Structure formats: C-alpha cells, structure tokens
Amino acid sequence: MSTTTTPPAEEQQTDLGGIVRAYLAKVRGGDVGSLPAVLGLVALVIVFSILRPDTFTTELNFANLIGQSAAVMVLAMGLIFVLLLGEIDLSAGFTGGACAAVLGLTLTEHDWPLIPALIAGILTGTVIGFFIGTLVARVGIPSFVVTLALFLALQGVMLQIIGDGGTIGIRNDFIIKLNNGSMPIWLGWLLAAITIVGYAGGRLLTMRGRRARGLVAEPMLLWALKSAGFAIIIVAVVGYLSRERSPNPALKSLKGVPNVVVIILVLVVVLGYLLSRTSWGKHVYAVGGNAEAARRSGINVPWVKISCFMACSTIAALAGFLAASRTNSVSPNTGGSDTLLLAVGAAVIGGTSLFGGKGRITDAVIGGLVVAVIRNGIILLDQPSSVYYMVTGAVLLLAASVDAISRRRATASGRA
Amino acid sequence: MSVPATEQAPAAASDKPLLSLRGIQKSFGAVHVLRGVDLDVRPGQVTALVGDNGAGKSTLIKGIAGIHAFDEGEYTFDGKPVKVHGPKDANDLGIEVVYQDLALCDNLDVVDNMFLGRELGSKIRLDDTTMELKARETLDGLSVRTLKSVRTHVSSLSGGQRQTVAIARAVLWNSRVVILDEPTAALGVAQTEQVLLLVRRLADRGLGVVLISHNLNDVFEVADDIAVLYLGQLVAQVRKDEVTRGEVVELITTGASEKHGNTNGEVR
C-alpha cells in the first residue's frame, strides 16, 4: 500500500488463456485445493487399470468401490467440521459404531419400528458429540485426549451392548438397501439431471445476481467450462453404473446407481450449504482461523466448538449406519480398526487442513475415493494386508506433508 | 477527587461527552490495574490515550469494549448510564475497537471479516451480495483505494491494508465511538501517514475517536485531546494546544507535571 498507486480496477480474466493463467497463479501461490487429490485419483486409476485391466475397471468393481468408500466418506464429512476448528475427533469411528449398535439393538432385539430406531441411533451420536464438545470447549481438555479416552470407552460400550465376539444382525430391509441396493436406471438418470441442472443453474443464478448488482462475477466462459465438465463426469458415471454388472445376469440382474450415492449427494449439498451460506458456517471458519478474533467479534466460540463436535458425531452416526448396512450386521469392531484414520486421511487428502480454517465438504468425497481406490486396487493386486497398511500410512503422511507445505507456501505468498 | 479531569478543557462547541467514565476500577486477582480512571470522549474529536507500558491502556479499552467488565465505576454513554457485559453490548451502543493485533481472520476475505459476527441476511441464508456492496461502499467512503478486490483473503494483504480493513470494519456499523489501539505501530512512514489521515477523517465525520499510541508525533499530529494514564490512574486529560511534548513525556513517566500534575494527579 503506497500513497501514490491508483487502484487497479477489480481485474478479471475472461478469455480462456486468462482463466488458465489465473488458476495456475493460484496453485503456485499454495492454494492447491483438491488438485493433488484429483491428480492422485487419476494416477491411481490409470495405474490399477493397467495392472489389473480385467478386474479393476469392471462395472461391478466400480459399484463396489462406491459402496466400500461410502462409510469413510461420510465419516470424513463429519470430521471436516472438527478439523476446520483445528481440533480432532479420534473417537468418531467408534461413535459411528456405537450409534449403529444402538440402531441394531433397538431394531433387531427390541423390535422397534425403523424411524424411532434411526432417531435413537442418530441422537446417540448427537449426545456423544455434545459431551466431547463440552469437555473440549468448556472444561478445556485438548480434543485429542478427550476423544482418545472416548475411543477406548466407546469400544467398551460396544462390547457391553453387543457382547464379546458377538454380532447384531440387521434384518431391516431399508437399512440393508442403504449401502447395498441400487436404484432403477430411470431414477439414476433423473438424479443425474437434477444434479447437473442444480449445479449449473445455481452457479448461473449467483453469477447473474452479482452482475445485476454491479459486482465482479465469474466469467461466462468459466461457468460454461465448469458446468460442461461437471455434466460430462456425471453422465459418464451414471452411464457406466447403468450397465449390467452382475457376473451372472441371468440369475440376478445388477445395475443402476447405488442408493448410497443419494445419501452422499444430499449430505454434500446440505452440509456444504451450512458451511458456506449460513452465519454459523462463517463462524466455524472464523473460529478455526483466529479464535480470538472470533471472540472479539461477539461470536460464541465455545458454542461453535460444541456444535461442530455435535455435527461430527451426528454425521458419524450416519457413517456407522452405512458400515452396518454394508455388512448387514453390527460387531464390536464396526467403525473400528482403520476406519477413523482412513476418514481423517480422506479429508486431508481431499484438501482439508489439519491446522484448521480450511476445508470443504467435497474434500471428503474426493479424498474418500482416493482412499477407497487404494484399498480396492491393492486387494485386487493380491497384496497382503501388510502392504495395504504400509501404503495407506504412507499416503496419509504424504497428504499431511502436502497440507503442511502448501500452508507454508500460502503463508509466504499470502493466500492461506 | 472533586474536579473532573475534563473541566480544564475549554468547553468547545459540541461538547457533551459521548462516552464518559468516572472512577473506573479493575483488578486481575491481586493486581490492581485501573485505580479510578475518568475519561471523556467527545464527538468529532480525536482523544489520544497515552501512557507507558503497563499503565493500563489495554485494560481500559478492553473494559470499554466489554471484553472484560470493570469492577467499579460509572460508564455513561450519550448521557445515560449503561452496563456493558460483552462485545455485543458495546457494539450495540456504537462502540467499535480496532485492536493492535487487528483481530482479523486470515482465512476469510475482506467482506467476511468486516461483517464477522454481524452478518447480513437471515442466519440460514446470508446476503453475500449486499455485504459485498456495503463493504465496498464503506471503503470508498473512507477514500480507500488500495484494495484490489474485497474478496481477497486477508492473509494476502499488507500491514497498512489490514489496518484499513480493520478500521473500515469499525465504521461500517454507524458507529459513534471508534477506539484504535496502536494503529501505526507496525507501519512504515507512508502507511502511517495514510492511517493517520484515515483517523482524522473518522473524527471529521463526527465520530468520537480514541487513539492509543506510544508515538507522540502521531499524537500531536491528529489528536485534539490528550489523556495520560499513569499506573492505572488518569493523571490528566488536556487539550493538545495547552501542553508541550515535554510536559506530556513528564506526565507519562512520572504521573505529574508542574502545570498539570497537581490539579488531578493526586495519588489516591
């Protein structure tokens, strides 16, 4: 800032070259967003397709991939709320497991109707989140200690509910279909159309609105490019999923978009809206960026923190339901083993920062796909789980390094 | 003390104080930080608050802003006694503070920072376009021309630009009193000049401005009134043209000067 410079008008690139240049400048400045994850995903898909062309690229495997990744993706969405604060919830996996156990218990053993059982399961998550949030925000215990304690305690609770070595079978058709069944072909296409129109239309309306009031808006060309790219991806995915993928079609036909996609889509839209368009969402980013500034602006910082932990655990409950649906049962290990770390990994790989203040819901989807592709590919390569764990650990570390380094660059170039 | 500090100042035209403190006390545990402070802030004037480190300047403004409540004392705004329990109460009165560390969120853009905690639109559907227009309008109103886009993240702004954003945030709300804590401490010469100009402009718009500064050059350049805090007591509040720099330095360091010390600088 100097006294002599005249203001450059809000400058903007409207031609193709300009758009590309602006984007490259942004990336070089450290604002990489989901770019590493997308590139990584593409690279992984190419590598596995070359190594296992006969199994990895099949329609069946593609649909399986979505089912396998769904629980981790949804858990990662929940974790993003906590990560945005710069906190962590290590117990989220078992929170999901415990909520699934409550669902199984009420549904299977006490014969509750579906809706009350679902509500009981989800509320269990909300209460756990409130408990964690209160200990972190009001009592002031570091979140990793609180959630590490709950990680152990909830494991105990699940053993108590389910019994050592036991399982609770899930027989409710709705729950089983959640993460196993597929929707009719026509419904898949209808969903695709709604998604594309919603995306392109929403952006167009925003752009128009801003133009009308004399504000700088996204160039028309950029909008067209983004919308077209989005539409192509959606159509390709839905087209591929609409093909017959049953190994034995005569016996049982298997085609259509998996049901779980609807859940993921709804969560992305609703949670994304919460974070970007509501005052609560702004406050979450503010608390994660500079809690003291948020406090001085009159934001109720403890409440924002508590509500984020509540959001995380509530969404974790949904993830637990999806995991239970996938296996048709709840065991003491549902949501356990590597689930939580995979979800944290998914969020970080997708571009959410471990340092707080930066992240979007879509990060969970992209990162979740990367994690699922790695697992799926390594299994198809007939590698032992030792290799799988080592590779996943390395990828998680790599993502965290990218996060730390891009944050440093961003601080240096002022784009944090 | 029987004589209010400000009675020494010749009554200028407009001059019922907008904000007025009497006998303010504040302790943190055993530490008695403010010991009966009286302060007046008048509309359209810049009141400089000076004092050495530890004199209680920050505690005083944090109390005014409602960050922590005063233990004792009268707090009057616009002639009416008020209770300020939190930043929101102070904001509702029209009191805004620009902190030394600016209290901006680096990961949010200029507009979001200016409206932080007081977003426009309904809670579940923010009105981003109106906020952006208003932010732009306010910056233009303060003749700020150094910001390229109000949608840039604050992390990419220079020190002077950040200061500008922080000040613009303070005047966005039809505020009546703006308190600036060391606004020029981290700035270069040209930027300091620009920020001081901005400070003067705020007063010319009829706001009561409190400027906290260590830099007597800045103080003598923009202030109308100088209030000196010494070990938790307000030892003098005088018109700028009635004191010399030497006297102010003496007041800051010893709490008394030949001319001003004894009228109200008695150690209580």
Which tokens is B206 given?
């009829």
Q: How confident is the model at residue B102 (pLDDT cuts 50, 70, 90)?
A: low
Choose the closest CB to B153 out of A278, A290, A415: A415
Task: Please tell me the predicted confidence (pLDDT) of residue A125.
Answer: 94
User: What is the structure's pLDDT at B258?
Assistant: 64
Q: To which H or E segment does residue A67 belong?
A: helix A59-84
Nearest-CA neighbor of A370 among A78, A61, A83, A34? A34
Output A315 or B249, whichever has higher pLDDT. Answer: A315
The CA distance from A6 to the nearest CA of chain B, in Å, is: 7
Kindly report, residue by residue over B134-153, the tens digit of the pLDDT. Answer: 888 888 877 777 777 888 88
**Of B133, B121, B210, which is closest to residue B170 (Cα–Cα)?**
B210
Which one has a higher pLDDT value, A310 or A387? A310
Q: Tell me the CATH number at B230.
A: 3.40.50.300
Cβ distance B108 to A285 less than 8 Å, yes or no, reads yes
Using H for helix, E for strand and C for coil, what is the string for chain B? CCCCHHHHCCCCCCCCCCEEEEEEEEEECCEEEEEEEEEEECCCCEEEEEECCCCCHHHHHHHHCCCCCCCEEEEEECCEECCCCCHHHHHHHCEEEECCCCCCCCCCEHHHHHCCCCCCEECCEECHHHHHHHHHHHHHHCCCCCCCCCCCEHHHCCHHHHHHHHHHHHHCCCCCEEEEECCCCCCCHHHHHHHHHHHHHHHHCCCEEEEECCCHHHHHHHCCEEEEEECCEEEEEEEHHHCCHHHHHHHHHHCCCCCCHHHHCCCC
Q: What is the DSSP letter of A182?
A: B
- Residue A101 tokens read as 């156990």
**The token pair that represents A25 in the structure block:** 């400048």
Distance from CA of B94 to the nearest CA of A (A): 13
- Which residue from A285, A292, A299 is facing B117, i.e. has the nearest CB? A299
Is A288's CB within 8 Å of B193's CB?
Answer: no
CB contact under 8 A, B157 and A414: yes
Query: Would you state the pLDDT for residue A411?
Result: 66
Do residues A340 and A316 make contact, with C-beta atoms less than 8 angstroms apart?
Answer: no
Query: How much is the mean pLDDT over chain A?
Result: 86
Report how many Cβ contacts below 8 Å link chain A to chain B: 120
CA distances for B29 relative to A139, A152, B37, B64, B152, angstroms: 21, 40, 18, 19, 43
Interchain contact, A415 vs B87, CB within 8 Å? no
Distance of CA A92 to the CA centre of its chain: 13
Q: What is the rounded average pLDDT of the residues A23-28?
A: 75
For residue A125, the surrounding DSSP H or E stretch is helix A114-134
pLDDT at site B266: 43
What pLDDT shows up at residue B168? 87
Q: Is A22 on the interface with B (CB under 8 A)?
A: no
Task: Count up the domains in chain B and report the number.
Answer: 1
> Is the per-residue pLDDT at B262 higher than 80?
no
The residue-averaged pLDDT of B69-82 equals: 88
* Assembly ipTM: 0.80
Would the pLDDT of A13 be above 70?
no
What are the two backbone dihedrals, phi and then psi, of residue A253, each rounded to the nearest 5 degrees?
-80, 140
Residues of B within 8 A of A289 (CB-CB) are 105-108
CB contact under 8 Å between B88 and A357, yes or no, is no
| Nearest CB neighbour to B105, from listed A278, A293, A415 | A293
SS3 percent helix, strand, coil of chain A, rounded to 5, is: 70, 0, 25
Residues whose CB is less than 8 angstroms from the CB of residue B219 and which lie 6 or more positions away in sequence, other chains included: B48, B50, B211, B213, B226, B240, B248
pLDDT of residue A309: 96
Q: What is the pLDDT of residues B59-74, one digit of tens each?
A: 898 889 888 888 888 8
Q: What's the pLDDT tens digit per position in A89-113?
A: 999 999 999 999 999 888 888 888 8
Nearest-Cα residue of chain B relative to residue A214: B133
Mean pLDDT for B226-255 is 86
Q: What distance in Å separates residue B197's CA from the closest CA in chain A?
A: 11
pLDDT given for residue B1 in this prediction? 38
What phi, psi does B239 have (nearest 5°)? -70, 145
**Residue A330, H or E segment:** strand A329-330
Please, which residues have CB within 8 angstroms of residue B160's CB and are 6 or more apart in sequence? Answer: A1, B146, B187, B188, B191, B194, B195
Least confident piece of the model among A27-41, A178-192, A331-345: A27-41
Determine the residue of chain B that is closest to A209 in CA distance.
Answer: B129
Distance CA A279, CA A157 (A): 36
Q: Tell me the residues of chain B between 193 and 232 that have a Cβ less than 8 Å away from chain A.
A: 193-194
Token pair in block for residue A32: 């990489």
Tell whether domain A34-181+258-330+338-408 is in CATH 1.10.3470: yes
Q: Which region among A24-38, A336-350, B108-122, B156-170 has the lowest average model confidence (pLDDT)?
A: A24-38
* CB-CB under 8 Å, B133 with A415: no
Q: Tell me the pLDDT of chain B averaged across its residues.
A: 82
- The residues in B 65-104 lying below 8 A from A, measured between CB atoms, are 65, 67, 86-88, 91, 97, 99, 101-104
Instruction: Answer whether residue B164 is part of any domain.
Output: no
Judged by a CB distance cut-off of 8 A, whether residue A371 touches chain B is no
**A2 interfaces chain B, CB cutoff of 8 Å:** yes
Q: What is the pLDDT of residue A31?
A: 67
A288 contacts chain B (CB < 8 A): yes
What is the C-alpha separation between A358 and B265, in angstroms, rounded? 52
A335-352 per-position pLDDT tens digit: 787 888 889 999 998 889
Domain segments of chain A as ranges: 34-181+258-330+338-408, 183-257
B2 contacts B263 by C-beta, under 8 angstroms: no
- Its domain, for residue B235, covers 5-94+175-264
Q: In what order do the strands lie in the sheet with B19-28?
A: B31-41, B19-28, B72-77, B80-81
- What per-residue confidence (pLDDT) applies to A109? 83
d(CA B234, CA B56): 10
